Amino acid sequence: MMLSLETIFRKNDKVPWRVIEGEAILVKVDSGEVSHLNEVATEIWQAIDGKRKVADIIKHIHDSFEVKKEEAEKDTLEFIRTMADKKIIVAVNPPEKKKIKSK
């Protein structure tokens, strides 16, 4: 998955989900699998709104948790990559040339 800090993601319309007591529960209809997201993942999931860039979400995570910027970036990118691979989230704009350096 090509990922840029400028990419904007939205949730896949076909994924049923709820946030229960601060924990997101997602249903993968194809497999019937029910996933529970942890606190940070729930925050990222809720921030994916089809408007915010990946960079904005990283900033939001950094602002919301006691965490270093690098860690917020690592967590966010990892989550977004996994979710995009599983097609649970979809890129709204095509990734730009400027890519994130792999660490």
Residues within the interface to other proteins (CB under 8 A): 13-23, 25, 27, 29, 32, 34, 36, 38-40, 42, 63-67, 71, 75
Phi, psi of 30 (to 5 degrees): -55, -45
Q: How far is the CB of 16 from other proteins (least distance, A)?
A: 4
The least CB distance from residue 20 to other proteins, in Å, is: 5
Closer to other proteins by CB, 38 or 82: give it.
38
Tell me if 89 sits within 8 A of 10, measured CB to CB: yes
User: Min. distance of Cβ 63 from other proteins in angstroms?
Assistant: 7
Q: In what order do the strands lie in the sheet with 33-36?
A: 17-20, 23-28, 33-36
Report the alpha-carbon distance of residue 16 to residue 4 in Å, rounded: 26
